[in-house]
């Protein structure tokens, strides 16, 4: 039986989980693949650090260079995180013609184009199933399962921390700060939590999915990104009464087919790539993805609507995705086809990301206004001047005092028009706090 020797870079949560999973199911994988996976060496930062998963001392080293360059190592597994040293590790392995498995979405978001070109140039491969949505095999779905489809829309709940916080806020009527603290206590959120709650982690993943779905590498700086810090218990409650659930969505939509409306006809070949909290109809499956779970909803022009659901993070979910890549890499080595399916092939020369100001959406708007006659007329006048239509106005009962909340549900309008109109609304003396705007996804 062919043996493939692994050099693992990183012995933390994910690295330890992969080592443990290979010990547990290595024989099972060998029986299915006809290839035996053996961990030859593991590079870590600190040999003395206590680890939840015990790795034999004889396998450990602090010198990642020696692991990558070791002639006995056939396959390099980058699980250290970060983007600086990780980039060096991956490039060094690729230059030696060694395939690489990585779970590093930040690395791919920042340097994916360079790394994919290096893999192609040196005749090897880069596998990255674990970089997006943990145990959900969404990379394989887009690269292989739906290869005969044009992807017209993709919506992803791809950050378990945000989904956990929003779920708990709805279920318990709790404030954002309290649920963030709970997520940190349980280990779902880092300290500081900015990468998750400000949407950057979701943006890394959404950019990778958009690139695969549409055949050009999406510059992460072009992804409109909005997190969940501004979502309040009040917004959760009002959305629920209107028949919606708030979720942080990664959105990828085409402009030249179904799935997206654009304010500019000259940009009809571009795609929307964005991350933001959105009102999701309670009848839609994504509204029922709760807690730390992830889900990706994909529409192809041939297959129609498909859904992929599971644990998006954690030691075991990520290790499972890494094992999937190890299996693919081992089979490619066994068959002498290192680049049977290249990691990424750009095929859309005219691909572009639509500026967020050109994207057309429906909106939920919450205002805090003085409780006196004539207020609605002033607000409606500004919106009418901007050619923005109001589908409904709701003033919840039971609010005593000088100010009251007002909920506006807005018809389709360009983001630029909404942004400018709400800036004007905020300047009205009768408006007592900054307007809150959340997009509404209908999935029509």
Catalytically active residues are 205
CA dist 198 and 179 (Å) reads 15
Bridge-partner residues for 296, per DSSP?
Answer: 156, 308
Q: Where are the beta strands (DSSP E) in 282-402?
A: 293-300, 304-311, 359-370, 390-394
Three-state secondary-structure class, residue 365:
strand
Q: Who contacts 413 (Cβ-Cβ below 8 Å, separation ≥6)?
A: 360, 361, 362, 363, 386, 387, 388, 389
Stretch (H or E) spanning 228: none
> Measuring CA to CA, how many Å separate 55 from each of 37, 239, 320, 352?
16, 49, 18, 46
Asked whether the beta carbons of 241 and 409 are under 8 A apart, the reply is no
CA dist 318 and 324 (Å) reads 10
> Measuring CA to CA, how many Å separate 271 from each of 64, 136, 202?
40, 24, 17
- Locus of tokens 């807005």: 410
Edge-to-edge order in the sheet of strand 35-43: 60-61, 35-43, 2-9, 75-78, 100-102, 126-127
């Amino acid at each position: 039986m062919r043996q493939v020797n692994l050099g693992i870079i990183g012995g933390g949560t994910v690295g330890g989980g992969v080592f443990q999973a290979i010990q547990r199911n290595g024989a099972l994988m060998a029986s299915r693949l006809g290839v035996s996976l053996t961990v030859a060496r593991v590079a870590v930062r600190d040999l003395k650090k206590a680890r939840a998963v015990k790795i034999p001392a004889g396998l450990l080293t602090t010198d990642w260079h020696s692991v990558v360059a070791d002639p006995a190592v056939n396959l390099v597994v980058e699980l250290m995180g970060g983007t600086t040293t990780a980039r060096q590790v991956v490039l060094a392995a690729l230059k030696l013609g060694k395939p690489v498995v990585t779970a590093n979405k930040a690395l791919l978001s920042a340097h994916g184009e360079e790394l994919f070109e290096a893999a192609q140039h040196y005749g090897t491969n880069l596998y990255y199933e674990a970089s997006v949505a943990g145990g959900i095999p969404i990379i394989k779905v887009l690269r292989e399962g739906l290869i005969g489809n044009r992807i017209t829309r993709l919506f992803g709940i791809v950050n378990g921390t945000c989904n956990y916080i929003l779920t708990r806020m709805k279920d318990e009527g709790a404030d954002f700060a309290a649920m963030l603290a709970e997520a940190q206590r349980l280990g779902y959120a880092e300290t500081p939590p900015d990468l998750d709650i400000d949407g950057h982690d979701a943006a890394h993943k959404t950019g990778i999915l958009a690139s695969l779905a549409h055949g050009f590498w999406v510059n992460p700086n072009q992804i409109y990104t909005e997190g969940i810090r501004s979502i309040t218990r009040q917004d959760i409650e009002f959305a629920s009464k209107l028949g919606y659930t708030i979720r942080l969505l990664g959105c990828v939509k085409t402009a030249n087919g179904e799935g997206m409306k654009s304010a500019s006809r000259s940009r009809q070949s571009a795609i929307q790539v964005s991350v933001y909290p959105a009102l999701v109809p309670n009848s839609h499956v994504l509204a029922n993805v709760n807690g730390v779970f992830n889900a990706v909803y994909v529409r192809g022009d041939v297959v129609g609507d498909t859904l992929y659901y599971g644990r998006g993070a954690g030691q075991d979910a990520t290790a499972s995705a890494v094992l999937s890549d190890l299996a693919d890499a081992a089979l490619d080595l066994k068959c002498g086809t290192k680049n049977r399916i290249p990691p990424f092939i750009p095929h859309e020369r005219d691909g572009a990301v639509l500026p967020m100001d050109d994207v057309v959406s429906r909106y939920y708007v919450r205002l805090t206004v003085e409780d006196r006659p004539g207020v609605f007329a002033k607000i409606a006048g500004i919106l009418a001047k901007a050619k923005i239509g109001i589908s409904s106005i709701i003033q919840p009962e039971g609010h005593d005092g000088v100010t009251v909340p007002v909920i506006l549900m807005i018809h389709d309008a360009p983001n630029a028009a909404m942004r400018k109109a709400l800036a004007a609304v905020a300047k009205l003396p009768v408006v007592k706090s900054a307007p809150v705007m959340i997009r509404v996804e209908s999935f029509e």
